């Protein structure tokens, strides 16, 4: 008899295969002392290992491209953090070996981040991975990572570091399951980009025995242990049906009765454009420009460099819609030249638009670069600000756009509950809204998006979050403005129908999710979507909302 486990499904599809566990983490190096005359040699060893790991992470990023590249480049900079290296040198100077100094310095920094309330939990996981790679190199042992196998398998881990997720081989890794993480973690986002079925936040995942056969349903979050032949056949039939529906579904996004819902792509830069075009994206709903700035955390990219990157994306969508988010720095995306180093609570501090208004030269350069990049192109450029709290923020951004000579629509992201509650006021200053459901959930429920323990509160089906989406869409409708969703919620095909029923006018997601959403929307009328949305909002929990919507749409 098979056993059914339930986590959080974060990437569509079904994977059936044997369990293979992630490589064992690096053991703690011994607290061995070195002779007094050797500190310089040990410091040299430490620097060589750090530089080698940083270069490896950059190389992996270059191979992966897209969003993965930005994440890995950030990890590479983390490895070479001057304060961490200074701490390593100090520990070696008083007698530690290179490997022990690295281990202890990273442990101290990790404790510091955890003591800040775990708002940077995602960076803590990345920090652990960097430490393990440096210590492994110093000890001369294999790097922790994806297991070697010549047969396809389901990868199981406590969590997956970006360096591992980015280079997964979909021909070998059928899917993955993690004990930690959430629907908006780096691993989840990269899994969707790869098109690998994935379930995260699964309690006890690490206890699955090596070689056990599991069936992973990345749509529902179910993991079936030792599934019966009947269950395998059922899952494979459902997967085949979904694949057939995807193949048959083409063209612009629309409901069964012809209500248009443009399906747009979330991208991190030019490298993500081919996948978006292949998926039939009708434009870009979220161009995350911060990845340009992560190339060098100490200096902003030049205007010329920005113009070249922006124009490459704009040229790919002639007469299409491209929505660009200006730099969203701070919190888990710190930049040395912008972000305060001593903020006690970065997620609630100076980030997003607040950072740009404190550094108007950075904002003006970016807006000027966007204006130049769009010159002579028929593209419909729209530019939006992250972390808008109220009408004052919206006006400051719109004024900055006009001062930079930008001929585009100006918009505001709704990521803070105050913006959803006062959306109509904000729309007196800007022309459109875009809901970032990842951060909106984080701030609505006081639940860090990287912490697996609170993943239920990050579930975009939470009725309170649906209420805020409805309030924003209603305000936009009353003002004759558009209101899209660019958060990960849009990548859930069933939820996409509910968002449409709430009045959302466009949906933007990772390219791999577009065919699933297109095919599902085409099955239902707008009226059915509206009834499903009403049913979901009438419930009290995310699971109840999901079930209520499914019942309405299935006609049960």
Residue 61, phi then psi, degrees to nearest 5: -65, -40
The CA distance from 307 to 311, in Å, is: 6
Which of 219, 244, 256 shows the shortest CA–CA distance to 521? 256
The CA distance from 258 to 518, in Å, is: 12
Residues 6+ apart with CB under 8 A from 95: 33, 34, 36
User: DSSP of 276-330, one letter per residue?
Assistant: HHHTT--EEEEEETHHHHTT-TTSPPPHHHHHHHHHHHHHTSTTSEEEEEPP--B
Tell me the three-class secondary structure of 186-225, residue by residue.
HHHHHHHHHCCCEEECCCCHHHCCCCCEEEEECCCCEEEE
The two beta strands, 263-267 and 222-225, are unpaired
- Kindly state the greatest CA–CA separation across the chain: 80
Where is 416: in which H helix or E strand? none
Which of 548, 509, 545 shows the shortest CA–CA distance to 188? 509
Which of 139, 198, 186, 197 shows the shortest CA–CA distance to 161? 186
Contact 508, 537 (CB under 8 A): no
186 is catalytic: yes
C-alpha dist (Å) from residue 523 to 6, 309, 313, 516, 535: 27, 38, 32, 11, 18
Where is 157: in which H helix or E strand? strand 153-157
Contact 175, 192 (CB under 8 A): no
Of the candidates 186, 222, 483, 497, the residue annotated as catalytic is 186
The CA distance from 399 to 28, in Å, is: 54
Of the candidates 401, 483, 486, 529, the residue annotated as catalytic is 486
The two beta strands, 321-325 and 153-157, are unpaired
Residues 6+ apart with CB under 8 A from 479: 424, 427
Number of Cα atoms under 13 Å in the Cβ half of residue 292: 26
The CA distance from 81 to 18, in Å, is: 39
Helix pair 526-537, 463-478: axis angle to 10 deg: 130
Helix pair 121-139, 39-64: axis angle to 10 deg: 120
The CA distance from 278 to 276, in Å, is: 5
C-alpha dist (Å) from residue 267 to 136, 348, 365, 367, 510: 34, 25, 21, 18, 7
Q: Which residues are catalytic?
A: 186, 486
């Amino acid at each position: 008899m098979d056993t059914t486990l339930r986590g959080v499904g974060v990437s569509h599809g079904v994977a059936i295969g044997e369990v293979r566990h992630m490589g064992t983490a690096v053991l703690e190096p011994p607290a061995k002392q070195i002779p007094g005359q050797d500190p310089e040699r040990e410091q040299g060893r430490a620097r060589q290992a750090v530089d080698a790991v940083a270069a490896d992470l950059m190389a992996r990023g270059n191979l992966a491209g897209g969003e993965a590249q930005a994440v890995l480049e950030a990890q590479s900079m983390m490895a070479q953090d001057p304060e961490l290296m200074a701490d390593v040198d100090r520990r070696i100077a008083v007698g530690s070996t290179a490997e022990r100094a690295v281990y202890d310095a990273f442990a101290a920094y990790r404790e510091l981040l955890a003591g800040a309330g775990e708002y940077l939990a995602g960076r803590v996981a990345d920090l652990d991975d960097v430490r393990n790679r440096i210590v492994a190199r110093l000890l001369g042992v294999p790097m922790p990572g994806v297991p070697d196998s010549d047969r396809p398998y389901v990868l199981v881990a406590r969590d997956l570091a970006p360096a591992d997720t980015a280079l997964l081989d979909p021909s070998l890794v059928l899917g993955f399951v993690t004990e930690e993480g959430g629907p908006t973690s780096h691993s989840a986002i990269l899994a969707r980009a790869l098109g690998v079925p994935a379930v995260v936040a699964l309690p006890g995942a690490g206890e699955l025995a090596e070689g056990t056969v599991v069936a992973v349903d990345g749509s529902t979050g179910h993991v079936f242990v030792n599934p019966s032949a009947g269950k395998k056949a059922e899952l494979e039939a459902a997967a085949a049906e979904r694949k057939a529906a995807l193949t048959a579904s083409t063209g612009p996004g629309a409901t069964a009765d012809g209500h248009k819902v443009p399906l747009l792509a979330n991208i991190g830069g030019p490298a993500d454009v081919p996948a978006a075009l292949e998926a039939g994206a009708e434009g870009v709903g979220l161009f995350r420009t911060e990845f340009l700035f992560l190339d060098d955390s100490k200096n902003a990219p030049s205007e010329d460099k920005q113009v070249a990157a922006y124009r490459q994306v704009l040229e790919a969508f002639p007469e299409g819609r491209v929505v660009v988010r200006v730099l969203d720095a701070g919190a888990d995306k710190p930049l040395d030249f912008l972000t305060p180093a001593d903020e006690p609570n970065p997620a609630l501090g100076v980030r997003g638009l607040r950072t740009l208004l404190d550094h108007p030269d950075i904002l003006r350069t970016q807006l000027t670069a966007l204006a130049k990049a769009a010159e002579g192109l028929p593209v419909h450029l729209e530019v939006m600000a992250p972390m808008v709290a109220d009408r004052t923020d919206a006006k400051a951004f719109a004024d900055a756009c006009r001062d930079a000579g930008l001929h585009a629509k100006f918009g505001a992201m709704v990521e803070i509950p105050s913006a959803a509650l006062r959306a109509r006021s904000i729309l007196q200053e800007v022309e459109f809204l875009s809901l970032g459901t990842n951060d909106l959930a984080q701030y609505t429920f006081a639940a860090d998006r990287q912490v697996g323990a609170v993943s239920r509160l990050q579930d975009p089906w939470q009725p309170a979050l649906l209420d805020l989406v409805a309030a924003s869409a209603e305000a936009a409708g009353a003002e004759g403005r558009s209101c899209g969703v660019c958060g990960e919620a849009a990548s859930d095909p069933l939820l996409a129908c509910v968002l449409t029923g709430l009045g959302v006018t466009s949906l933007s997601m990772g390219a791999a999710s577009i065919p699933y959403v297109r095919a599902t929307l085409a099955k239902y009328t707008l009226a059915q979507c509206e009834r499903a949305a009403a049913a979901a909002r009438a419930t009290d929990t995310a699971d109840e909302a999901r079930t209520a919507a499914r019942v309405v749409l299935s006609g049960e």
